[in-house]
Amino acid sequence: MTLLLGIVMLLAAISALGVVLSRQTLYSALSLVVTLSMVAVIFLLLNAQFLFAVQIIIYAGAVMVLFVFIIALLNPEAEDRPAFDWRSWIGIAAVAGITILVFVTARNGITYNDGGLRGAQIGRVSDPYHTFSFPPDAVNAAGNVQTVAGQLFTTFILPFEITSLLLLVAAIGAVYLTRREHSGS
Amino acid sequence: MLAQSAPLVPLVTPSANDLLDLLPELIVGFGFIALMLLDLVVGRQRWWLAVAAIVFLAAGFGASVWGWFDSGNGHTLYFGSFAYDKFSMFINCVLLFSSALVILISPHYLNRRGIHHGEYYALILAATLGMMLLAGAMSLMVIFLGIEGLSLSLYILSGFSRTEERSQEAALKYLLLGGFASGFLLYGMALVYGETGHTQLQQIGAALHSTTQADPMLLAGVVLIFVGFAFKASLVPFHTWTPDVYQGAPTSVTTFMSVTTKVAAFAVIVRVFTYTFVSLYSHWEVIVAVVAIASIVVGNVAALTQTHVKRMLAYSSIAQAGYILIGVAVGTLSNTSSSITGTTGVLYYLAAYAVTQIGAFAVITIMAGRGEDLDSYDGLRGLAYRRPFVAAAMGLFLLSLGGFPPTVGFFGKFFVFAAAVNANLTLLALWGIAGSAISVFYYLRVALLMYQRPKDEQQEYPWSRTTIAGGTALLAAAAGTLVFGILVAVVFNGAQAAQNAILPAIASTR
């Protein structure tokens, strides 16, 4: 299990490099899709199914569609269009393989006997650093979404509310900076 | 799976009292939303928005003063996410006072620049709210959201002059570098969370106290968090955006962000480093001290060669941040015989810096011409003969920035350096004093230029007239600079009380 986690992390890191190193913007965007999907897979492997779904829907889905739209709007030239060469096939195969592997493993049940990669050092109860108060089995029993929601609306209610104000500021800024000047006002 | 069992952790709803203790932030947040709606009502009479903004800020100030007396020894709100203590109330008061002064000088300036839009006031309040949240933040998440709240508002405000290239460039530069710094900050927070398993500062502090080992991952997290904060406080080597953004942004915005951002950033630096990472002091002390010295040297030397007041003040603000950081580098060390500690020095310096820097920038703001800032050294020559009162006020602010008694700036420097000496960090204090000596040169150069006779061939600057609101702001800043310099004890005792009641309290976790 830890090995699979390691492979996924490596893939996420490599595709993140691809975001930075690609010469064409569309390749960067597609690499980012891989990065975000792999982060989603990490969530799944850590028994956070809800975060996995959210990550896929919002980041790999909605946000990336916006990215690709904008790139398509700004770069209509033909030369920036990606051609399917061997690199993209490797990427697609790797993502597909990992995803299948993950789902097969997830179906068979994900079990950890420690708190993650650093569990050997920090996961012990005797260790003062030990603070894992959400063991996977207990979270699954109580419901993944329910636990996240419960925490979000009680312990973390203040950050949650501040985020809504943050979004309002961003919306105002977007409207102000892109608004056309009306003549006479 | 489908049959639901009891929740994993018992769901505790926050008490209603927590909401009441959040009153200053609630007032400013409400004001932010209310101003957006008021903008639709007032039409062209936008100065009503300024009036409303000042009313909200004053109400927030009143609530903060009430909170100062009410909070006592302080307690946390929302399960340790937010502090209700004298420290945050002290910072709130400085922030709200500064914001109100900026609002006073804004309408006239914005009108002359042709960028008088209602969003301005709402965004100033939103930025102030972000800073207040930062001042009271007791959780890594609230810290991050506070930083983003103030940054987002300031990105928009720096680019507020949409038709002007320099303003847009400033906004973009600030946005890109700011986003980069946020990434550092978030990465550091993730590492600290990974090592301690907590986002709440109190629990992080407790977790760090209960162990003697300092994991490299943890130290990397601490350093990355410092990088994120240092960017916001424009400390060397994370200062490169400062002069360009300060020059490109509308001057009233520069006034606002040069003061309030630093106040908020130092508030959070003190809370996180001096009081939460206190057990790691020996690890971060050197980094903080080196950054402080670098800021003092680079800021002062670069300010020497400037020919525009806005840029000079930008570089001088970097140096000022360096002096303040000395107070952080002192940590909680102190001779028991002395009452001057690093945090007290930082708090006093922040209050002093706020009134003085606002005053200096306000002079540039209220004299700004139509569509341009008239702030070149050549143009300022002979200001005293045309505008004796404005020139006298500017002279006072420059003396205070340079650290001359009996202004408030002298005591700010005195307390910070004294704290360093008390903690046996005399070398650090000497760097600060040497830097102040250099700074006197470029501050006095401007002051002397204003009192020289104008050259005959000199083109007369089309300076703006001083409005009643602008004059009031100048008078308030000048009064603050002088009165708090003479009645030192008022602010000093306040700073000391704030320091004594700061959360997370070290004594309880040790």
Residues of A in contact with B32 (CB under 8 A): 165, 168
Across the interface, whether the CB atoms of B8 and A138 are under 8 A apart is answered yes
pLDDT in tens, B462-497: 777 778 888 899 999 999 999 888 888 888 888 888
CA distance B199 to B285: 23
pLDDT on residue A124: 39
Residues of B in contact with A50 (CB under 8 A): none
Domain spans, chain A: 1-80, 112-185
Mean pLDDT of chain A: 75
Across the interface, whether the CB atoms of B82 and A158 are under 8 A apart is answered yes
Q: Examine the pLDDT at B43 and tell me if it is beyond 90.
A: no
Per-residue three-class SS string for B121-150: HHHHHHHHHHHHHHHHECEHHHHHHHHHHH
Residues of B in contact with A140 (CB under 8 A): 1
Determine if the peptide bond prior to B406 is cis (ω within 30°): yes
Q: pTM of the entire structure?
A: 0.89
End-to-end alpha carbon distance in chain A: 63
% of chain B residues with pLDDT over 90: 56
Tell me which of A169, A172, A179, A185 to substitute to probe the interface with B (most B C-beta atoms closer than 10 Å): A169
Q: Examine the pLDDT at A127 and tell me if it is beyond 50.
A: no
pLDDT on residue A117: 41
CA distance B134 to A167: 17
pLDDT on residue B120: 94
Average of per-residue pLDDT across B281-286: 89
Q: Is any Cβ of chain B less than 8 angstroms from the Cβ of A132?
A: yes
pLDDT on residue A137: 66
Tell me which of B2, B4, B8, B84 to substitute to probe the interface with A (most A C-beta atoms closer than 10 Å): B8
Q: Is any Cβ of chain B less than 8 angstroms from the Cβ of A163?
A: yes
Q: Which runs of consecutive H residues, i.e. helices, occur in B6-85? A: 16-21, 23-42, 47-70
CA distance A37 to B51: 50
In sequence order, what are the beta bridge partners of A146? none
Average of per-residue pLDDT across A124-128: 40
pLDDT on residue A47: 73
Buried/exposed code over A154-185 (b: 16+ C-beta within 10 A; e: otherwise):
bbbbbbeebeebbebbbebbeebeeeeeeeee
pLDDT on residue A48: 78
pLDDT on residue A150: 83
pLDDT in tens, B106-126: 998 898 888 889 899 999 999
CA distance A154 to A135: 19
Across the interface, whether the CB atoms of B6 and A142 are under 8 A apart is answered yes
Q: Is any Cβ of chain B less than 8 angstroms from the Cβ of A158?
A: yes
> Which of the four pLDDT bands, split at 50, 70 and 90, describes residue A82?
low
> Which of the four pLDDT bands, split at 50, 70 and 90, describes residue B34?
very high
CA distance B197 to B141: 13
Facing residue for B211 by CB, picked from A129, A140, A153: A129
Q: What is the DSSP letter of B113?
A: H
Tell me which of B9, B77, B117 to substitute to probe the interface with A (most A C-beta atoms closer than 10 Å): B9
Region label for B197, one of left (φ > 0), alpha (ψ between -120 and 50) or beta (otherwise): left
Across the interface, whether the CB atoms of A177 and B162 are under 8 A apart is answered yes
Residues of A in contact with B122 (CB under 8 A): 172
Residues of A in contact with B164 (CB under 8 A): none
pLDDT on residue A172: 92
pLDDT on residue A136: 63
Residues of B in contact with A133 (CB under 8 A): 9
Phi, then psi, of B327 in degrees rounded to 5: -65, -30
CA distance B320 to B351: 12
pLDDT on residue B423: 87
Facing residue for B152 by CB, picked from A128, A132, A166: A166
pLDDT on residue A84: 64
Phi, then psi, of B423 in degrees rounded to 5: -90, 15
Across the interface, whether the CB atoms of A162 and B149 are under 8 A apart is answered yes
Mean pLDDT of chain B: 88
The number of C-alpha atoms within 13 Å of B195 and in the hemisphere containing its C-beta is 22
pLDDT in tens, B148-207: 999 999 999 999 988 888 899 999 999 999 999 999 999 999 988 888 878 889 888 888
Of B52, B64, B179, B174, which is closest to residue B125 (Cα–Cα)? B52
Nearest chain B Cα distance for residue A183, angstroms: 13
CATH topology of domain A1-80: Four Helix Bundle (Hemerythrin (Met), subunit A) (1.20.120)
Sign of torsion over alpha carbons B335, B337, B343, B345 = negative
CA distance B373 to B411: 31
Average of per-residue pLDDT across B302-307: 91
Q: What is the DSSP letter of B238?
A: S
> Which of the four pLDDT bands, split at 50, 70 and 90, describes residue B24?
very high
pLDDT on residue A162: 94
pLDDT on residue B469: 87
CA distance B354 to A178: 33
pLDDT in tens, B398-445: 999 998 888 999 999 999 999 999 888 889 999 999 999 999 999 999
Facing residue for B149 by CB, picked from A118, A165, A172: A165
Residues of A in contact with B195 (CB under 8 A): 122, 129
Quote the ipTM score: 0.89
pLDDT in tens, B233-273: 999 889 999 999 999 999 999 999 999 999 999 999 999 99
Q: Examine the pLDDT at B387 and tell me if it is beyond 70.
A: yes
> Which of the four pLDDT bands, split at 50, 70 and 90, describes residue A104?
confident
pLDDT on residue B206: 83
% of chain A residues with pLDDT over 70: 71
Nearest chain B alpha carbon to A170: B152
Residues 6+ apart with CB under 8 A from B23: B63, B66, B67
Residues of A in contact with B129 (CB under 8 A): 165
* From A9-18, B83-92, B394-403, the region with the lowest mean pLDDT: A9-18
Across the interface, whether the CB atoms of A169 and B149 are under 8 A apart is answered yes
Neighbours of B319 (CB within 10 A): 27
Facing residue for B29 by CB, picked from A146, A165, A173: A165
Nearest chain B Cα distance for residue A92, angstroms: 28
Residues of B in contact with A120 (CB under 8 A): none
Maximal C-alpha separation, chain A: 71
Across the interface, whether the CB atoms of B11 and A154 are under 8 A apart is answered yes
Nearest chain A Cα distance for residue B286, angstroms: 26
> Which of the four pLDDT bands, split at 50, 70 and 90, describes residue A114?
very low
